[in-house]
Structures are given as C-alpha cells and as structure tokens.
Amino acid sequence: MAGIWTQLQDVLKYDYLAPIRDQLNNSSPFLAQLEKSSRDVVGAGLWIPLHVSRNSGVATLGTTGTATLPTAGQQGYGKVQVLTKDTYAGILIYGKSIRATRNDRGAFLRAVRSEVEGAVNDAKIDVERQLIMSDTTGQLTLTETGSTGTTITCDSTQYLDDGMLVDIGADTNNTISAVTSATTFTIGSSITWGDDEVIKRSGVTSGDELNGLALMLSASSTLMGLDVATYNYWKAQTVGTAGTPVALTELDLLEVCDLISKKGGEPDTIMTGYGGRRAFYNLLQSQKRFGEVTNKMKLKGGFNALVWSAGEKDIPIIVSRFWPETSAETSFGVLTMKELCMGQMSDFDWMEEDGNVLARQTGSSKKEAYEATLVKDAEFITYARNRLGILLGVTPL
C-alpha cells in the first residue's frame, strides 16, 4: 500500500498542481488582467508605503530678491498594512477508488479528474466573484419579507447557485435546492427567517472575504485600514448618483477618466455588467457609430473586449456576470490596472505540512475516504485608490 500511496501523492502534486495554477491565472476575464507576478508577503503582512502630499515650501516671489523665503516643507508619507486571507477548495476521494488504482496510475487520474477540475473551477469562480462584488462582509443578498417555508424571496439571486451551502441569518448550513427566478430560491428544509436577513456562504463571517472592486470604488468606505473621513486622498473618483439612474453618456464616462488622470492615474480598463454593455452598444448605435461597436481588443488570457476610444487611447470594456447590477440600475468601473494586484503569502497549493497531500477522514461521522485541500493565502490590494473611479446611476438595457 505504501507504493500506491506515494504514487497518489505524486499524482496530486505534479500531475495536477501546474494545470490548476494555469487555470486560476487565465480562466476568468478580470483575474487574467491582474499582474501575474503578484507581490509575495511574509511575516505579519504586507506594508504599502503611500506618498500622500507634496512639499509646501515652494513659491515664486517676484523680482526684488528681498522677499521672505517660503517656510521649508517636506514630502508627506503614510502606510497601510494588508493581512492576507485564506481561500480553500477541498476534494474527497473514497477508499474504493484508491484500491481500484493499486496498479494503474491512469485509473486514478480518471477517478479524481472530475473532483480536481471541479474544485479548481469552483475556486476560480468564487475568487472572481469576490474580486468584483465583495465588500468583505460576505453578504450575497438579503431576504425580503420574513416568513416560514422552503421558498425564499430575496433582493437578488445573482450570486446564488444550485447546491450552494448558505447561512440565512442565524439559520446555518442550508443547501439551495434550486434558484427559481431572479429573486427566489428554494432550500431542502423549512426554516423561519425575518426581514432583511443576510444570506452568505456557510461559515463566512464579516471581514472574511477578499477586498473587491465594490469596496475599492467607493468615496466613503474604509479600505485597508484607512478611513476616507481622515485620509481624504484615499477616495475613489465618483461621478453620478446611485439610486437615480440616467441614460449613459460618453461625457460622463470621460469625466471619470479625467478625474483619475488628474490624480496621476492612467485609465486602461472599464468594468460593467451585461445591462451596462447593452447600454453602451445602444449609445454608439444611436450616434451611427457602428464601426466602434464591433471594434475589439485582445486581452490577457485570450479574452476579447469591446473598445471605447477615450481621447488619446483605447480602453477595453470588460463584462462580468458578478458586476453589481439590477434591472433598473448599473454602473461602470474605471480602473488603472497597474495600481491593482494580489498580495499573496502563497499561490494555490496543496496543504501538506505533515508530508501528505491526502488525509484520512476523522470524527464520529468519518467514512472510508480521504481528503485533499488546496489553499491560496492572498488579498486583493490597491496602491492608489484615488486612481480608480466609477460612474454610478446608469440605466441598463
């Protein structure tokens, strides 16, 4: 058994780890645009120095040469500390599958392929979701009017999936049987819930999830420990008003780009939802600019993006299924990609501190099975929040 056990460890470490990393770097549009050479973090976390103000001791004082010199000044600096967060993906392999592979490495590969590829895909999708919509609280949606039963009405099912394990308020570990509409889903067992109960992945508490663009593209929320009420330079640029949507105009988008440029940013990516993309198409069509509608740009990872010509440069518009959007309102995020990255203590790797990738199940409900767990220890960070921006209050189509 020792021989096959060693073989199984090697299969997981060497046959699967490389393609797992490749998929996680290239399989989703937004992740593919982040720098692949993420900053490594050691010790207590990542410290980011910030240049926040200029030397005020500068002045032009006429022609006499007798003016009092300006008061000497200096550059202003600050810093933020970022602590990384753990994202996990686990697989379960039954003992019978292991016995069936005693003399056949290929059989083991076939037996676990669906589990490994499924875990990779699920990890990729959830990290992508967090990078786009997370405010770190873990909130996926809120319940509507309180009731009792198995059919739950919520604000939106955009971030829910069949089979997802969720906490609904204080009621934990509910499996979603089916997402039945844009605002309803069913669970297996009847529960009682109140108005505006938070729905989140099971076990997630406020502060657990990664920073997301929904948090970064704010002029009011605290990010990475800096409160904008105290640190005015730590605000994203905002145009428009949430809650009062209006038709999309190019001038509004250009205003966001200009505000970012004034802070030293170089806007090079725009994010929106499907309704936002349709609004953009409609805008160009109404202006008889059909050539620009079909203009595409090739992005990292092999993705195509619609291009908007903003003055002196072309900016790709990336559509995300996770972009916060309703049937009544959407928004457009404008990014300077070089100011964004993943600070990581480790990329996805197998937990094997004891020398084993596979661990036997333990506990009162244990089965003849073994588990393997992938973990990524990282946080999504920005070096300059004021070089990011958002156009709020846009009517989608």
Tens digit of each residue's pLDDT (9 = 90 or more) over 49-100 = 776 667 777 777 777 888 887 787 777 666 777 788 888 888 887 877 767 6
Residues sharing a CB contact under 8 Å with residue 365, sequence separation 6 or more, in sequence order = none
pLDDT at 157: 95
Q: Which residue has the higher pLDDT, 329 or 224?
A: 329
Radius of gyration from C-alpha coordinates of the chain: 25
- Indicate if the pLDDT at residue 289 is higher than 70: no
- Indicate if the pLDDT at residue 302 is higher than 80: no
Provide the strand spans (E) within 160-266: 165-168, 171-179, 184-193, 198-201, 237-239
CB 276 within 8 A of CB 394: yes
Q: Which amino acid is at 372?
A: A
Mean pLDDT of the region 316-333: 92
18-22, 82-86, 311-315 — which one is most confidently predicted on average? 82-86
| Spatial distance between the Cα atoms of 174 and 167, rounded to a whole number of angstroms | 6
Supply φ then ψ for residue 259, to 5 degrees. -60, -40
Q: Which residue has the higher pLDDT, 5 or 189?
A: 189
For 117, the 3-state DSSP assignment is helix
66-70, 123-127, 157-161 — which one is most confidently predicted on average? 157-161
Q: Output the six-digit token pair for 149.
A: 């039963």
Burial 325-362 (b: 16+ CB within 10 A, else e): beeebbbbbbbbbebbbbbbbebbbbeeeeebbbeeee
| Spatial distance between the Cα atoms of 197 and 208, rounded to a whole number of angstroms | 18
Distances (CA, A) of 295 to 12, 32, 186, 280: 43, 20, 42, 13
| Spatial distance between the Cα atoms of 160 and 133, rounded to a whole number of angstroms | 13
Q: Output the six-digit token pair for 70.
A: 């300006």
Q: Which residues pair with 36 in a beta bridge?
A: none
- Indicate if the pLDDT at residue 4 is higher than 70: no
| Spatial distance between the Cα atoms of 14 and 24, rounded to a whole number of angstroms | 16
Q: Which residue has the higher pLDDT, 296 or 344?
A: 344
Q: Which residue has the higher pLDDT, 303 or 205?
A: 205
Walk across the sheet containing 165-168 and list its strands: 141-142, 198-201, 165-168, 171-179, 184-193, 147-153
CB 29 within 8 A of CB 131: no
- Indicate if the pLDDT at residue 304 is higher than 60: no
H-run or E-run covering 376: strand 369-382
Give the mean pLDDT of the chain: 81
pLDDT at 124: 81
CB 274 within 8 A of CB 325: yes
CB 386 within 8 A of CB 234: yes
| Spatial distance between the Cα atoms of 87 and 298, rounded to a whole number of angstroms | 30
pLDDT at 42: 59
Q: What is the pTM of this model?
A: 0.81
Q: Which residue has the higher pLDDT, 73 or 237?
A: 237
Confidence label for 1 from pLDDT (cuts 50, 70 and 90):
very low
H-run or E-run covering 40: strand 39-40
Mean pLDDT of the region 267-272: 92
Give the pairing type, strands 359-360 and 369-382.
antiparallel
| Spatial distance between the Cα atoms of 149 and 143, rounded to a whole number of angstroms | 13
Residues sharing a CB contact under 8 Å with residue 246, sequence separation 6 or more, in sequence order = 240, 393, 394, 395
Mean pLDDT of the region 367-375: 83
pLDDT at 243: 93
CB 203 within 8 A of CB 188: no
- Indicate if the pLDDT at residue 246 is higher than 90: yes
Q: Which residue has the higher pLDDT, 225 or 29?
A: 225
